[in-house]
Structure 1
Amino acid sequence: MGDGSQANSTKVDMTYEPGENAEDRRLFRCLNRQLGPNSRLVQTWQVLVVLSIIVDVFLNSFLWAFDSRIRAMWFIVYGMDVIYIINIAVKFFLPYYDKGIVITDRNKIRRHYLKSATFFVDILTMVPLECIALSPALISMKYVAVFRSNRLIRLYAVFVYFKTLGSRLGTNVKGLMVCKFLTIASLVLHLMGCGWYSLGCPGKHDHMDLTCRPESWAVTFNFGHAIEIPSTTTSRAYIISLYWAVTTATSVGYGDLRPVTIAEKWYSIFSMLMGITVFFGIILGGIASQLTNADIERAQYTHRLNVIKKKMRKARVPPAMGEGVIDYYKYLWFRKRGVTDQGLLNKLPITFRAEVTHSANRFILDKVRRHGGIKYIK
């Protein structure tokens, strides 16, 4: 994902070290550790950016569909824009991986970001299209929220983050998949509910009529008892719309909320297909994949256990000893999923393995030194 000249390199790119002073070089290395791709500070910042994108999408769609008069939400969505602008600036200094090698040269980092499609998409999402809504013909804040919809493109960064996090070693894959599926389901249901409500009612906005469209679902439905959508609270209108989105996307469809106009019927068809894709395709498919992988791991370990049993029978191992061996492997499965510590460092270079071994056994060497060294027994 970087310059081709780095493809054959075998060490971390540390070519840029400002000044000849040793203290400057130590400071530069310290900053690289703090701002590296896997550093805790960078990971925390990435989580903050992802959350800001999700909050922006939720609130902006709520503003254009339901109520654009809530001033606190406007402060929040533009605060999310500030976070994203800072994130764009950070990308000009953030080291990146090129085929497993950390690139820390600032000039290369800038060129890599400017040449990537990510830079173009980031700039596209920052174009202030809402300025169009300042024209005299569009006097409602609803249109400001509508023209801010280019921020939806930022959702690509959320899925890139999930993909990148899933490719790292040590990631809790099951927990990550739960977060990913919950995020997708919440976004889809929220956007479906906003679209459904906007088909029946214009929402509560300044300088706009609150009357729902004639013969729409909002005028004809009976939600347990008669209710006037224009006169109800915004929170209740949102819950009703979200209720329709959930029942439609999950193919339940109780029939109390049903489409009336042609536009509403087309939207219902699209929502049902979207629900099938998300809930029965992506989410259930992902869960099935996790269960399959777990079964493969268990099947491989069970096969290994059966081979050990056959070997012991051929070697005529006493039954009591054989049961002890099998019990040990069962214990190993329940405690460590069948993975032992033996041989884990064998593929490291000899010098690196020696350093790790020395560090792991340092407490033993310290005890030897405290007791006057090693005494050889003849």
Structure 2
Amino acid sequence: MKIPAIHPDTHQKISWDIFILILTIAITIIIPLIMVYQLPLNGLLLIFDFCISMIFIADILIESHTAYFEQRELIRHKESIFKNYLKKAFPIDLLAAFPFFMILSLFPSPLMLQIAFLSNILRLAKLLRIGRTIGRIRNSKRLNPSFIRMSLLIFWILIAAHLISCAWMSIWENPGALNPLNAESMYLRSFYWTVTTLTTIGYGDISPSTNLETIFVIIIELIGAGMYGFIIGNIANIIANIDIAKSQYQEKMEKVTTFLRYKNIPHDLKNKIGDYYDYLWDSRRGYDESSILQDLPKPLKTSVSLFLNRGIIQKVPIFQGANEEFIKEIILNLQPVIFTPGDSVVIKGEIGYEMYFISRGSVDVVSEDESVVYATLGSGSFFGEIALLLSAPRNATIKAKDYCDCYSLDKDTFDQILVRFPEFAVKIREMAEKRRAETEEKQKKNK
């Protein structure tokens, strides 16, 4: 029976990889303890050992049929997959899966039985093969990268501490010499010794008494000194990068504050500028969306822009019924802009060169002296199209009622788009004339 190539990113394959990761962690914890405590491999432990072999053999079968990426190209050719697996991962997987204990224990020799018992440590070779699953976790877009790095750092420290503790237990000749508690709670006291040694605290209440123990302690102390510096450096770096956006925002605010102070900007204006940046942080986390989109290739930029702004355009009556290409052209040429409360977005009588679409917030359409409010426009509304389409002066003053996220479309760009869609251009101009007449009627009634 031919097994088809398995895609490495399917849910089933990812679930299997996670299962193998959990099993590898389990055997990394259990097997060293079995060896240290000299537990006989019979009964449930023998079944456990047999199940591990079967699962790891199944993993070999799955991995030898799993496609792989090479320079971002998915390789599905079975012969290439098999050769790549044999060259890179097969020796390690075979070493971890081979049932050395069950085969060697068939020989009655005490020496062979001892070798069979010690061969269980070869299962830990599987630790070298969980890098891809951990890499997938590290590259996850759903979690904070700094949080992932911190979690993985703690994970590897605990794994190393466990293995060192088990190694110390295996050579510790007289645990109860200085303290009977050491013999009664051997693993706990060994783990305690490992942590104090790796962190370079070293209380000295557990000390070596033989040459082998002394050599082992020296090695662990050297490892601990390097690990301590590595951990401190990584933790400092992780903390500094837990929220890069926040750090960049605070750095920017320091520059803005210094500039305002240097130029002796009035206190009220300083507060308004500070409020603007606070709103920018709350609403956009300080990012300029246009600069981010500018780095993307056009197809990706189009997809993201459609996702962000399609709802706004679809709410605008003059664009209802427009074809997909026209909507794409409009959306790709929108520029984000923010107005603070009280800002005059447009002023009656001035020549307009932009029309605006409101994404969030609201604006008031007011009389020239701002004594009369003709209308309030909210999310999904648009304004400025009359001057833009008919080359006429603004017929009303519009002021931001609160913080207002808008998108602007300039006249030159809009005219270029309309040239490519002449039928829709006629419809838009008719609607613009109708809206201008309605606005003038409202203004006459309020005089």
The counterpart of 2:236, out of the listed 277, 280, 288, is: 288
Per the alignment, residue 128 of structure 1 pairs with: 99
Paired residue type of 1:157: R
Matching of residues 75-154 of structure 1 within 5 Å: 75-115=47-87, 117-130=88-101, 131-138=103-110, 143-154=115-126
Looking at structure 2, the residues matched to 61 and 311 of structure 1 have their Cα atoms a distance apart, in angstroms, of 62
The counterpart of 1:338, out of the listed 283, 286, 289, is: 286
Shift of 1:41: 3.7
Shift of 1:318: 6.2
Stretch moving more, 282-291 or 315-324: 315-324
Distance change >3 Å, CA 336–CA 357, structure 1 → 2: closer
Looking at structure 2, the residues matched to 76 and 339 of structure 1 have their Cα atoms a distance apart, in angstroms, of 53
TM-score (norm 1): 0.68
Paired residue type of 2:275: D
Stretch moving more, 70-79 or 123-132: 70-79
Paired residue type of 1:91: E
Are 2:62 and 1:62 equivalent residues in the alignment? Answer: no
Matching of residues 1-378 of structure 1 within 5 Å: 36-69=7-40, 71-115=43-87, 117-130=88-101, 131-138=103-110, 143-167=115-139, 169=141, 171-200=143-172, 216-223=173-180, 229=183, 236-278=185-227, 280-293=228-241, 300-306=248-254, 308=256, 319-333=267-281, 337-361=285-309, 363=311, 373=321, 376-378=431-433
Distance change >3 Å, CA 111–CA 322, structure 1 → 2: farther
Shift of 1:65: 0.6
Looking at structure 2, the residues matched to 311 and 36 of structure 1 have their Cα atoms a distance apart, in angstroms, of 55
Looking at structure 2, the residues matched to 68 and 142 of structure 1 have their Cα atoms a distance apart, in angstroms, of 12
Looking at structure 1, the residues matched to 33 and 216 of structure 2 have their Cα atoms a distance apart, in angstroms, of 18
Q: Which runs of 5+ in 2 are unaligned?
A: 323-426, 434-447
Stretch moving more, 87-96 or 296-305: 296-305
Distance change >3 Å, CA 88–CA 335, structure 1 → 2: farther
Distance change >3 Å, CA 223–CA 92, structure 1 → 2: same
Distance change >3 Å, CA 320–CA 75, structure 1 → 2: farther
* Structure in which a larger fraction of residues adopt strand: 2
Paired residue type of 2:32: S
Cα deviation code 1:165-216 (max 9, x no counterpart):
434555532222232222222222222221222224xxxxxxxxxxxxxxx3
Cα deviation code 1:234-261 (max 9, x no counterpart):
xx33223323323333333334332212
Structure number with greater CO (CA < 8 Å, separation at least 6) is 1
Does the 8 Å CA contact 1:68/1:142 hold for their aligned counterparts? no
Distance change >3 Å, CA 39–CA 199, structure 1 → 2: same
Stretch moving more, 90-99 or 336-345: 336-345
Shift of 1:59: 0.9
Shift of 1:43: 3.1
SS where residue 271 of structure 1 aligns? helix
Paired residue type of 1:323: N
Does the 8 Å CA contact 1:194/1:241 hold for their aligned counterparts? yes
Does the 8 Å CA contact 2:33/2:166 hold for their aligned counterparts? yes
Report how many aligned residue pairs link the two structures: 320
Distance change >3 Å, CA 329–CA 177, structure 1 → 2: same
Paired residue type of 1:147: S
TM-score (norm 2): 0.59
Shift of 1:108: 3.7
Paired residue type of 1:344: I
Paired residue type of 1:57: T
Percent of residue pairs bearing the same amino acid type: 24
CA RMSD of aligned residues (A): 3.8
Does the 8 Å CA contact 2:8/2:68 hold for their aligned counterparts? yes
Distance change >3 Å, CA 358–CA 301, structure 1 → 2: closer
Shift of 1:287: 0.6
Stretch moving more, 325-334 or 303-312: 303-312
Paired residue type of 2:277: Y
Looking at structure 1, the residues matched to 243 and 149 of structure 2 have their Cα atoms a distance apart, in angstroms, of 18
Looking at structure 2, the residues matched to 86 and 125 of structure 1 have their Cα atoms a distance apart, in angstroms, of 12
